[in-house]
């Protein structure tokens, strides 16, 4: 009987413990791991514009920390990173990107426009001289630093025209006396204005051009648009009391220049030029009152220039001719 009561007491105690254990498990709150909050990677700009040779910065405003970055094209722009600040240096004109990553595995790209912010030219002002009545004066303006894709516009096309643009070299054509402003713009929209001044002259050759004539060893005579050719005779010498510089092909085509004086360096008088350019034709163009100047004389050759202003147009030419007996 006592044994029966003992087992009953033990069973009651076990059941009480079991109920107590179940009650404790149900009453205790479930512990869950704290979820990680991901922060988007953001910057204070989406595009960076930086001048060639210059450095600018942008900042990481939010992200997962432990930031890293690289330049997609270091030939265009390089970068350094210091905490949340990224510095970008432009090497040459072009486009590239800076890619930034963080510890959360986020990646984001910033567009970099490396550009010249000022156009660099080989001259800030152009002075041109054209001969009276002529429209064949040219000057070159070269872009030494810019973003490519150049365009140029003149505000007075009657004074200065844009003849051509190639590889950053702008060829300007002078048309008349006056001043014009040329605006040069590149593909990035950067522009610069250049003043072009055109003046007219009745001087046929500059000192540099005279030097080129005197350095020439090719026998020739030129006047306006007519030039001697490889056939026919060329000479300079006395004829009927005057000097005659000429190229002549059987009197069918020729250039002849008569003047008074000897074949020494200096100005001569009583100049006259006659040009026949059509072998079968009869038309002959004559110019009286022509200025003649001997520039250089050797034992065998004579170098000289000739010019005359007629009807507000400067006619001019030069000769390099062997000494010899003139045949009219």
Of 273, 269, 295, nearest to 286 (Cα)? 273
Model confidence at 326, pLDDT cuts 50, 70, 90, reads: low
Model confidence at 135, pLDDT cuts 50, 70, 90, reads: confident
C-alpha distances (whole Å) from 71 to each of 16, 82, 87, 98 are 72, 15, 11, 5
**Would you state the pLDDT for residue 22?**
43
Distance CA 213, CA 207 (A): 10
Q: Is the residue at 1 inside a domain?
A: no
**Would you state the pLDDT for residue 149?**
93
Distance CA 320, CA 228 (A): 11
pTM of the model: 0.65
Which residues make Cβ contacts (< 8 Å) with residue 211, sequence separation at least 6? none
User: What residues make up the domain containing 89?
Assistant: 42-115
CATH number (domain holding residue 173): 2.60.40.1080
Q: Mean pLDDT over residues 66-83, rounded?
A: 96
Q: DSSP letters along 132-190, please?
A: TT---EEEEEEEEE--S--EEEES-TTTEEEEEEETTEEEEEE-SSEEEEEEEE-TTS-
Distance CA 128, CA 194 (A): 13
pLDDT digit string, tens, across residues 221-255: 999 999 999 999 999 999 999 999 999 999 999 99
CA angle 249, 250, 256 (to 5 degrees): 60
Q: Is the residue at 34 inside a domain?
A: no
Helix (H) or strand (E) holding 307: strand 301-310
Are both 217 and 185 inside the same structural domain?
no
CA dihedral for 242, 297, 229, 313, sign (positive or negative): negative
Q: Which of 61, 88, 115 is the last residue of a domain?
A: 115
Are both 177 and 226 inside the same structural domain?
no
Are both 317 and 241 inside the same structural domain?
yes
**Is residue 30 scored above 70 in pLDDT?**
no
Q: How many domains does the chain have?
A: 3
């Amino acid at each position: 009987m006592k044994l029966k009561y003992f087992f009953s007491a033990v069973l009651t105690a076990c059941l009480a413990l079991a109920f107590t254990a179940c009650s404790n498990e149900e009453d205790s709150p479930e512990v869950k791991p704290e979820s990680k909050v991901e922060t988007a990677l953001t910057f204070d700009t989406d595009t960076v514009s930086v001048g060639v040779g210059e450095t600018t910065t942008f900042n990481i405003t939010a992200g997962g920390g432990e930031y890293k970055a690289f330049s997609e094209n270091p030939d265009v722009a390089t970068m350094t990173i210091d905490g949340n600040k990224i510095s970008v240096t432009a090497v040459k004109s072009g486009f590239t990107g800076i890619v930034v990553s963080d510890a959360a595995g986020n990646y984001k790209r910033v567009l970099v426009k490396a550009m010249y912010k000022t156009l660099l030219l080989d001259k800030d002002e152009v002075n041109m001289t054209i001969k009276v009545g002529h429209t064949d004066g040219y000057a070159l303006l070269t872009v030494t630093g810019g973003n490519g894709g150049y365009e140029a516009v003149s505000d007075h096309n009657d004074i200065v025209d844009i003849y051509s643009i190639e590889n950053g070299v702008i060829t300007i054509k002078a048309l008349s006396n006056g001043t014009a402003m040329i605006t040069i713009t590149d593909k990035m929209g950067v522009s610069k204005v250049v003043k072009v001044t055109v003046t007219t002259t009745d001087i046929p050759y500059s000192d540099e051009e005279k030097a080129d004539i005197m350095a020439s060893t090719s026998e020739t005579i030129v006047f306006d648009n007519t030039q001697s050719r490889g056939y026919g005779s060329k000479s300079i010498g006395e004829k009927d009391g005057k000097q005659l510089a000429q190229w002549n092909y059987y009197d069918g085509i020729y250039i002849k220049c008569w003047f008074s004086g000897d074949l020494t360096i200096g100005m001569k008088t009583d100049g006259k030029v006659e040009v026949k350019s059509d072998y079968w034709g009869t038309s002959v163009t004559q110019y009286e009152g022509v200025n003649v100047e001997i520039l250089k004389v050797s034992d065998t050759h004579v170098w000289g220039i000739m010019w005359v202003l007629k009807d507000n147009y400067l006619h001019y030419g030069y000769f390099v001719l062997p000494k010899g007996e003139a045949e009219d």
